[in-house]
Chains A and B, each alone.
Chain A
Amino acid sequence: MLAEELKAVAAEERSIRDSTTARVNVCGAAGCQSLESGALKTALMEATATQGYGPESCAIRSVGCLGLCGAGPLVSVEPSGVLYQRVQVSDAPDIIAALNGRPVERIHLPSTMPFFARQKRIVLENSGRIDPERLEDYIAADGYLALTTALSEMTPAEIISAVHKSGLRGRGGAGYPTGLKWSTVAKAAGSPKTVICNADEGDPGAFMDRSVLESDPHRVLEGMAIAALAVGASEGYIYVRAEYPLAVARLKTAIRQAERQGLLGNNICGSHFNFRVHLRLGAGAFVCGEETALIASVEGKRGTPRPRPPYPAESGLWGLPTLINNVETYANIAPILRNGGDWFSAIGTDHSKGTKVFALAGAIRNAGLIEVPMGITLRDIVFEIGGGIPDGRAFKAVQTGGPSGGCIPEAFLDTPVDYETLTKLGSIMGSGGMIVMDETSSMVDVARYFMEFCMTESCGKCIPCRAGTAQMHQLLGRFANRNATRADLALLESLCDLVRNTSLCGLGQSAPNPVTSTLRYFRPEYEAAFAGEGGE
């Protein structure tokens, strides 16, 4: 498909859309689908037919994630912008009857609520607005425009400089500058080069990547294609978790559609640029989120990390230069190219630019997916957007970064969210999982839960991680059973130090974080578990 054809498809699609008087969008992402949004869509279609609406006057569409997963299934009506929550199949006739009147009060969700109003959507701009299984919908939302522009008007160096200027940092958690990574791969000797998308979202409590892939898969493909063009790669791999069947299915559909329209494959958009994307399924190993382990897994081996350097940028898949970025990082590329690096770098803080998608869950009223500008405070996320803690309970801590992160207490809620401040607090930005805990959660139990996770997920390559996590888990068990001693606490602290400093990869190095952060802010809970002192 050439740039002109793309514009023609977009114009046609928009005119079809504008000719319908109303559009009812049903969330078709995994969360709402499990609440039977499929049956709801059928019911809505029946209701439109019985109430005399034709396909030109009211369209029922399945769209990606609308965000507030905790109140699913969600339905949105365009152009009025009315949102409905916890919609039952029986509500369908009322929703259709209310198309031209006042919204149905009992299920109405005010779109002015802070959950929606306080967000800034870049990565999720199409999420909940387009049908992820239709390429035309994506094209009508300026999809593949950035790729055609990059192909016809930009040199690889210009693409990299735009990404560099944007200040975008890796969204997988470590926050390495994306532009720098791209230029390293572009400069590296060796061919063919590969582009890998890390969609192995193993961090429990995080579902940003799943949502992006389910709601807007073409955006990730476009970002990967632009990356391949910039670094000179011709093959791409998406390593996605087997636990996300819907995301896998939608990616397969998207790849097939893009190939058929000449947006992937050989001679993309009539140019000399070739780029093919392959899917690889993960098999349930958390450590495969680490880049060298992921590469080993794509090669068909056990997913064990190896020492770096050499970094994958120099020696990655099959020993050749490999660019590896997270789903959310690629999802940011098309808007950066469309609007310019300066536009992106105007959002956020000095060192963390743009927005971040967080998966808000746990003891919180508005559980779901949010995208906020960097620099927003944790308090705003938890109490404004998240709506605070349900059941009248008190806030205790917010856990970011999953098993590699830490718990942040009330006292630091006014900290602006960016890579550096979260690290300073003993947690990490991580991939974006944010679990809120109320007063009923025991911090020792949380630390033990994450240690059990790291213990079972340790690949077993280095002894400090393999044996250290098991020892720490056992010690934490004593605290949980309230028969610990002061010597146990000292041993636990020294093990944290040892495992952090002597493990090879990020899993081991960050495994003590949940323990050290809870020890730092909730030490009395550990001391209360000394046998015969604070215990029973």
Chain B
Amino acid sequence: MFAYLKKCEPPSDDKRWKIIAASMRKLGNERHALIETLHSLQQTFGYLDKSGLTYVAASLKIPLSQVYGAATFYNHFTMKPQGKHACIVCTGTACHIKGAPELLKLIAALEGIRPGETTPDGEMSLLTARCFGACGLAPVVVMDGNVLGRVTTEILQHRLREAVPSAR
């Protein structure tokens, strides 16, 4: 019983696990460190996978089911590998009435992906966000960390081509 609790070794000798261990240690390896640790896990590896979650569960002495529960509860966390480029379309109220749905339709037409999906070649992930708080510039798209304001379908098409030259 609770055999997984004993195993606290990182899943591989990848040096990046030290970052995860440090962020847990910073909060005393207590269970309240869970969400901060998941943030650090996702920031380091790009997404949450089973080995990472098992490691965190064992280190913080939380049942894996509860770690999985938290990881799937929060929208910010993803358990799928992400594409090279991330395109996040804001779907907040201001962006919605200023045309965010058209932007999503455009990406679906150009790249064939819906929110939460990644192109088969692993080039581009499409995500949506609830609101970046830049409503004065609606509609807003965040492309690889750069916030773009007052985005029209033409601008978006141009930016997509820039990011992924193979796109039509």
* Interfacial residues, chain A to chain B (CB-CB below 8 A): 30-31, 33-35, 68-70, 72, 201-207, 210-211, 242-244, 280-286, 297-303, 359, 361-363, 367-369, 399, 402, 433, 435, 437, 441, 446, 449-450, 453, 457, 459
Q: Which single member of B36, B98, B132, B138 contacts A30 (CB below 8 Å)?
A: B132
Question: B91 within 8 Å of A by Cβ?
Answer: yes
| Distance of A367 Cα from B98 Cα, bound (Å) | 12
B135: chain A residues at CB < 8 Å are: 69, 205-207, 359, 361-362, 367, 433, 435
Question: B130 within 8 Å of A by Cβ?
Answer: yes
B76: chain A residues at CB < 8 Å are: 242, 282-284
Q: Report whether A437 and B74 are in contact in the complex, using a CB–CB cutoff of 8 Å.
A: no
| Distance of A70 Cα from B136 Cα, bound (Å) | 5
B106: chain A residues at CB < 8 Å are: none
Within 8 A of A (CB), among B28-53: 30-36, 38-39
A201: chain B residues at CB < 8 Å are: 133
A300: chain B residues at CB < 8 Å are: 30-36, 62, 70
Q: Which of A201, A300, A449, A459 has the most chain B CB atoms closer than 10 A to its own CB?
A: A300
17 more contacts with CB within 8 A, not counting A35-B149, A244-B133, A284-B76, are A30-B134, A204-B92, A205-B92, A207-B136, A243-B132, A244-B132, A280-B35, A280-B36, A283-B38, A283-B39, A283-B74, A283-B75, A300-B33, A300-B70, A302-B70, A361-B138, A362-B97
Q: Report whether A69 and B73 are in contact in the complex, using a CB–CB cutoff of 8 Å.
A: no
* Interfacial residues, chain B to chain A (CB-CB below 8 A): 30-36, 38-39, 62, 66, 69-70, 73-77, 91-94, 96-98, 129-138, 140, 146-149
Give the nearest-CB partner of A35 in chain B.
Answer: B149
Q: Which single member of A34, A207, A283 contacts B77 (CB below 8 Å)?
A: A283
B149: chain A residues at CB < 8 Å are: 31, 34-35, 72
Q: Report whether B74 and A284 are in contact in the complex, using a CB–CB cutoff of 8 Å.
A: yes
| Distance of A202 Cα from B75 Cα, bound (Å) | 12
List 16 contacting pairs A-B, 8 Å CB cutoff, sorted by A: A30-B134, A30-B147, A33-B147, A34-B134, A34-B146, A35-B149, A69-B135, A206-B133, A280-B35, A282-B74, A282-B76, A284-B130, A285-B73, A285-B74, A300-B30, A359-B135
B62: chain A residues at CB < 8 Å are: 300
| Distance of A457 Cα from B133 Cα, bound (Å) | 18
Tell me, rounded to whole Å, the shortest Cβ–Cβ distance linking B81 to chain A. Answer: 19
Q: Which of A361, A369, A450 has the most chain B CB atoms closer than 10 A to its own CB?
A: A361
Tell me, rounded to whole Å, the shortest Cβ–Cβ distance linking B47 to chain A. Answer: 14
| Distance of A449 Cα from B101 Cα, bound (Å) | 11
Q: Report whether B73 and A302 are in contact in the complex, using a CB–CB cutoff of 8 Å.
A: yes
B69: chain A residues at CB < 8 Å are: 302
B38: chain A residues at CB < 8 Å are: 283
Q: Report whether B137 and A285 are in contact in the complex, using a CB–CB cutoff of 8 Å.
A: no
| Distance of A402 Cα from B130 Cα, bound (Å) | 12
Q: Report whether A34 and B147 are in contact in the complex, using a CB–CB cutoff of 8 Å.
A: yes
Please name the 8 residue pairs, one residue from A and one from B, whose CB atoms are nearest each other, closest first.
A69-B136, A207-B133, A34-B147, A283-B74, A204-B92, A361-B135, A284-B75, A205-B93
| Distance of A362 Cα from B136 Cα, bound (Å) | 8
| Distance of A363 Cα from B138 Cα, bound (Å) | 10
Give the nearest-CB partner of B98 in chain A.
Answer: A362
Give the nearest-CB partner of B135 in chain A.
Answer: A361
| Distance of A190 Cα from B93 Cα, bound (Å) | 42
| Distance of A33 Cα from B75 Cα, bound (Å) | 26
Q: Which single member of B36, B91, B98, B130 contacts A286 (CB below 8 Å)?
A: B130
| Distance of A369 Cα from B135 Cα, bound (Å) | 10
Q: Report whether A30 and B133 are in contact in the complex, using a CB–CB cutoff of 8 Å.
A: yes
| Distance of A402 Cα from B133 Cα, bound (Å) | 13
A242: chain B residues at CB < 8 Å are: 39, 76
